[in-house]
Structure 1
Amino acid sequence: MLPTATGLLLLAGGLAAARLHRTTRNYYRGPVNKAYAAGVATHRREIRPGTVLHYARTSGTGRPGLLLIPGQGSLWYDYARVLPDLSADFDVVAVDVHGHGGSSWNRADYCATVIAADLVLLGRELFDTPFLVAGHSSGGLIAVQMAAGHPDDIAGVLIEDAPFFATEPGRVPGTFVGQDLDLLAGYLAQVEEPDGEADYLAYALPHAYIGTLFGGVWPFISGQVIAQRRKHPQATPNIWYLGPAINRIWESISHPFDRWWSHAFFLSRSWHEDFDQATALRSVTAPTTFLKASTSYGADGVLLAALNEEDLAKVEKLLVDNRTVHVTAGHDIHFEKPAVFTRALRELADRSRR
């Protein structure tokens, strides 16, 4: 008996749901497991008294050194999709920046110049210098400071959608990240109270700016996410039927991360002490590649990107040996377009050897 049209539609829908379930459930931890299977191992190293850095390293010892620096709130896991591929050509280290994951959470270290100096020390200890460095988002700011302050150590810099100039004080209120700073301040003000909410995700997600993009369904979605979080506090919530792109929203605020790092970056701005963005860019002598993700704005005019085209033009004018690659993708290019990311690193390595 031939199946009916309705039966075929139900079968197709069931298969699509099964694929979505599998893809969403495995989108994050799956690549991490593959990285471990490919020989990636984690280590902790005291880089100076009282400051320990946690990092993952591929089995590419003896190849050119490459240090990967995640953005604010992200861990080395974020690079898991690209580590096995990159290990064919590089000795790769992906680090948890200070205040993230297994690295030290010392508030006095939450400063661009301190972090950059420590990561240069890490590179000197692990690689034959000079080495390549790639930084995503705020990690790109750090990578540029590394090259500006320690030119003999850095062979080349890949700057992945770093928020140059959009994170200067007058610009932050008009950006996506600037919309939730009152939530951050409120969370830090109450977190140590006897009845304070310790989980930033549970505190902030219902009221986060991104919820405005989902309209009336956001209370339901955020409620489901928080219910999962309450049941499994150490796990990243996963709402399988919403797909990986939506799940990245709460994944990004689920990792172990000291929110005082964000306070230093956005509120007190102590993170930027002795770090001038234009001066740092102008001081880089190593070849650079800037990966620029898509630029978009919300209906309210808020910049829904790390930086806009005018900011990029300033960056390009200041860098002495730069190539820009425009990528049709969201902010996390290395995650969304791993082949583009790895190709850009290989091309940068070729330029650095000339």
Structure 2
Amino acid sequence: MSKAKIIQNTFVSNDISVHYYEIKNSLPVLLMLHAQGTNALSFQNTFVELSKKFHIFAIDCPGHGLSDKNRHTYNIISIGNVIVDFIKSVILEPTYIVGHSSGGLIAAYTASHTQLCNGLILEDPPFFSCQGERRYKTFNYLDLSTVCHKYIELGCKEDFVLYYFENQKMWEFFPNNSREKIKSKLLNSAKKYRKKYPQKPLKVPFLPKNALAAYYGMNEYDPYFGESFYSDSFHADILHEDILKNISCRTLIIKAKTNYDDEGVLLAAMSDEDARRANELIPNSEITYFDCGHGVHIEKKKEFICTIIDFVK
């Protein structure tokens, strides 16, 4: 199968420079917004198939990839307004928007602030769960957000990728009697790989693909972005419900599997109740469920692509 030709460029709005990827053709436009900690190329596994149906744009959100790293812009208003301006100034026509996780929050804000959104696909976004006091009982807060906060608080200068790998919440899921041994062995492998391939996404033997997906793009990730979720400043005092009820375009919510640990921590982006609430708030919305983890486009690539194409028909 031939590869799609990917063009790279930058766009500047309100002194914020964002890097983006484009696959040009005369088909309907699809704008893709990635999850926290990754970058636009986290969607690259879908580019070839989707480019048969869409003219693709994929943006590195501020704090990620090759886009600006200015902590004062890490909020939904600043980033969302840049995306709105990007649609008006670069795309120049109505577009479909897909947003994964935090990219889904940004996509929802964007759709609520422009009439140039033909349709919105929200891949497992953390509506309600990551905002306010509820965030304290979520995996992302206890994992990436807290690790970012501690990294900044301690004034660490070491490789953030290794720091996150060593301090992530994932280790708690290993058996107590073998946890430290496994952690030590895998951490040693991670250090060797980082030393040999410092520019590549982290790979560690025996870890599944979906676990390593979190490291795709982490080389260029700014921990201050995670800090904005730790402090709740990312939302800029805008309630998710106020964003959702102002979306006028057709919307599809892609919901991944919901799990909780023994202490009631949400091991997912949002609960089933959150998804239903979001669906009720958006005037023209539907939900489709996937029996997989948070990275639906990675774990269920073919089904994800088919879902997007079917939604647009």
State the TM-score, normalizing by the size of structure 1: 0.81
Q: Could you tell me which residue of structure 2 aligns to residue 318 of structure 1?
A: 281
| Cα root mean square deviation, aligned | 1.9
Q: 1:210 aligns with which of 162, 165, 170?
A: 170
Q: Which moved more, 1:286-295 or 1:237-246?
A: 237-246
Amino acid at match of 2:289: H
1:41–1:57 contact (8 Å) kept in structure 2: yes
1:40 aligns with 2:3: no
Q: Pick closer, same or farther for the CA change 1:92–1:182 going to 2, 3 Å.
A: closer
Q: Could you tell me which residue of structure 2 aligns to residue 10 of structure 1?
A: none
Q: Could you tell me which residue of structure 1 aligns to residue 16 of structure 2?
A: 51
Distance in 1, matches of 2:278 and 2:23, equals 32
Q: How many residue pairs align between the two structures?
A: 307
Q: Could you tell me which residue of structure 1 aligns to residue 304 of structure 2?
A: 341
Which runs of structure 2 are paired with 1:74-113 in the superposition (5 Å)?
74-113=38-77
Q: Shift of the alpha carbon at 1:211? A: 0.7
2:161–2:219 contact (8 Å) kept in structure 1: no
Percent identity between the two aligned chains: 25
Q: Could you tell me which residue of structure 2 aligns to residue 167 of structure 1?
A: 130
Which runs of structure 2 are paired with 1:113-132 in the superposition (5 Å)?
113-132=77-96
Q: 1:232 aligns with which of 197, 201, 218?
A: 197
Which 4+ runs in 1 deviate beyond 4 A?
none
1:197–1:203 contact (8 Å) kept in structure 2: no
Which runs of structure 2 are paired with 1:1-354 in the superposition (5 Å)?
37-48=3-14, 50-60=15-25, 62-150=26-114, 152-180=115-143, 181-191=145-155, 196-215=156-175, 216=179, 217-249=182-214, 251-252=215-216, 254-267=218-231, 269-350=232-313
Amino acid at match of 1:68: M
1:144–1:280 contact (8 Å) kept in structure 2: yes
Amino acid at match of 1:331: H
SS in 2 for 1:46: strand
1:145–1:275 contact (8 Å) kept in structure 2: no
Unpaired segments of 5 or more residues in structure 1? Answer: 1-33
Distance in 2, matches of 1:154 and 1:245, equals 30
State the TM-score, normalizing by the size of structure 2: 0.91
Q: Which moved more, 1:332-341 or 1:120-129?
A: 120-129
1:135–1:159 contact (8 Å) kept in structure 2: yes
SS in 1 for 2:280: helix
Q: Shift of the alpha carbon at 1:185? A: 1.9
Larger Rg over CA atoms: 1
Unpaired segments of 5 or more residues in structure 2? Answer: none
Amino acid at match of 1:224: S
Q: Pick closer, same or farther for the CA change 1:208–1:240 going to 2, 3 Å.
A: closer
Distance in 2, matches of 1:243 and 1:174, equals 25
Q: Which moved more, 1:284-293 or 1:171-180?
A: 171-180
